[in-house]
Amino acid sequence: MSPNAALTDRADQIFRIGPETLVASSPAIVAGHISHYQKKDVKMSQPGPDGFPLEWTVTAELELPSTLKGTPLTGPIPFSRSERAFMSPTPSPNPLWEKDYGELQPDGEVVLFFGEANSQNVLKAIPSSAGEQNFLALVKDIVSIQRVTDPKDRIQRWLSYLAASPSPEGYRVALRSLVHAGVKWPQFEPAVRKTLSQQNLPRGLQPFAFYFIAFTISQSAWDDDGAAALELLCTMFARQTDPKLQLQNLAAFALILDFSSRQPLQKSRQPLRERTNKCLHNWASLGFADPTLAEEYKRMRQQYAIP
């Protein structure tokens, strides 16, 4: 896989797929406290007493399930989950977002997703704890909004949810859900402008929102409003003073340059390329706060033939 293809695949996982995808595809969801927890090691780092588990399987039960979606189910519901250490050499088959919720705990909570209604065939088991890892609360919010049948009302509910400063994953869920629902840029712009301007957001949300807008532009989701979306990115980038965030923002602009440079070249994308080049040129003309930024800009100029 080429570097650009690998980057696109990772972007697809991050900016298209999330908890909301799993909730939407599951006809039945329940949650509750874990009981009868058992852990069986499957793969060790090395034989002998110095080895530690790299992969293991947890089997447990949900005795008193609370129904979040679908027909109420009675317990106990047996389930299992394959888990692995972060240093495991085997890549996880699970979506990237799942790793943020950690591992099942003997005295913890779990959310179970079913592939069929009125079935005890568990499709997925996701841990839930407190704070930013309160997956149960997030699923309740998602189910509540996805139940809204009118598309315009659903978009408004997601916008209100975004404005209410949810958890970090809640922000990401709302952004993805709004674009998936077909939100227009003029309706979306005030919400993301606020996100990109706030100073007290959890770490990582602003670069996510910045890159998310660039990714959505590259998917032609806003058609003629793509130029307006890019203009917001250029405005926010010009105000950015943190070298680490500037470096992350450069990666987002690289995505737009890649999109506008794809062969065969499309005339409709040329204004995006020209505006991105001008935005980067104006920024670079002020000098670089960090040598890494200079190196990355040089690389981008060579790769995308930036004047």
Task: Check residue 46 and give its pLDDT.
Answer: 86
Element (H, E) at 31: strand 28-44
How much of the chain exceeds pLDDT 70, in percent?
96
The overall pTM is greater than 0.85: yes
Residue pair 109/32 in contact by the 8 Å Cβ criterion: yes
Distances in whole angstroms, Cα of residue 244 to Cα of each of 7, 109, 250, 298: 19, 36, 10, 17
The string of pLDDT tens digits covering residues 56-99 is: 999 999 999 999 999 988 889 999 999 998 877 777 888 889 99
Helix-helix angle 185-197:151-163, to 10 degrees:
10
Helix, strand or coil for residue 181?
coil
Helix, strand or coil for residue 87?
coil
The string of pLDDT tens digits covering residues 261-270 is: 887 888 889 9
Distance CA 116, CA 136 (A): 20
Residue pair 16/59 in contact by the 8 Å Cβ criterion: no
What average pLDDT does range 184-188 have in this prediction? 96
Q: What are the DSSP calls for 48-85, one per residue?
A: STT--EEEEEEEEEESS-EEEESS---S-EEEEEEEE-
77-84 and 122-128: which strand pairing? unpaired
pLDDT > 50? residue 1: no
pLDDT > 90? residue 212: yes
- Record the tokens describing residue 254, joined without a space: 């690289």
pLDDT > 50? residue 271: yes
What sign does the CA torsion over 161, 73, 36, 55 have? negative
